[in-house]
Amino acid sequence: MRWSQITRHRPWAKPPFEPRHLQNSPRVKTGRPDNSISNGSPSSEPPVSMYTIPDFATLRRVLDRLYHRYDPPRRAAGDDVLGTLVRTILSQQTTRAATDQAFGELLESFNADWHRIAYAPTPTVEDLIRPAGLARQKAQRIQALLIRVHDECHRYDLEHLHQMEPEKARTYLLKFKGVGPKTAAFTLMAACAMPLFPMDTHIFRIFERLGWLDPSLSDEVAHQQMQALIPPDDRLPAHMALVEHGRTLCRARSPLCERCPILRDCPTGSTTPPVDPA
CATH number of the CATH domain containing 252: 1.10.1670.10
DSSP H or E stretch at residue 83:
helix 81-91
pLDDT of residue 73: 87
Does residue 74 have a pLDDT over 50? Answer: yes
Q: Is 6 inside a domain boundary?
A: no
DSSP H or E stretch at residue 113:
none
The whole-angstrom separation of Cα 187 and Cα 80 is 10
Looking at per-residue pLDDT, the higher value among 79 and 189 belongs to 189
pLDDT of residue 163: 94
The whole-angstrom separation of Cα 190 and Cα 13 is 15
Judge if 248 and 231 occupy the same domain: yes
Q: Is 275 inside a domain boundary?
A: no
- Predicted model pTM: 0.73
Q: Average pLDDT of 161-165?
A: 95
Domain end point (choices 135, 158, 192): 192
Does residue 97 have a pLDDT over 50? Answer: yes
Q: Compute CA distances 185 → 44, 179, 216, whole Å.
A: 32, 10, 23
Q: Is 1 inside a domain boundary?
A: no
Domain count, the chain: 2
Q: Over the stretch 196-213, which tens digit does the pLDDT of each residue have?
A: 999 989 999 999 999 999
pLDDT of residue 15: 31
pLDDT of residue 276: 58
Judge if 187 and 209 occupy the same domain: no
Q: Is 9 inside a domain boundary?
A: no
Q: Is 185 inside a domain boundary?
A: yes
Q: Is 105 inside a domain boundary?
A: yes
Judge if 114 and 186 occupy the same domain: yes
Q: Is 5 inside a domain boundary?
A: no
The whole-angstrom separation of Cα 213 and Cα 223 is 10
Q: In which domain, by residue range, is 254 found?
A: 27-73+197-265
Report strand pairing: 27-29 vs 50-52: antiparallel
Judge if 109 and 170 occupy the same domain: yes
Percent of the chain surpassing pLDDT 70:
78
Does residue 108 have a pLDDT over 60? Answer: yes
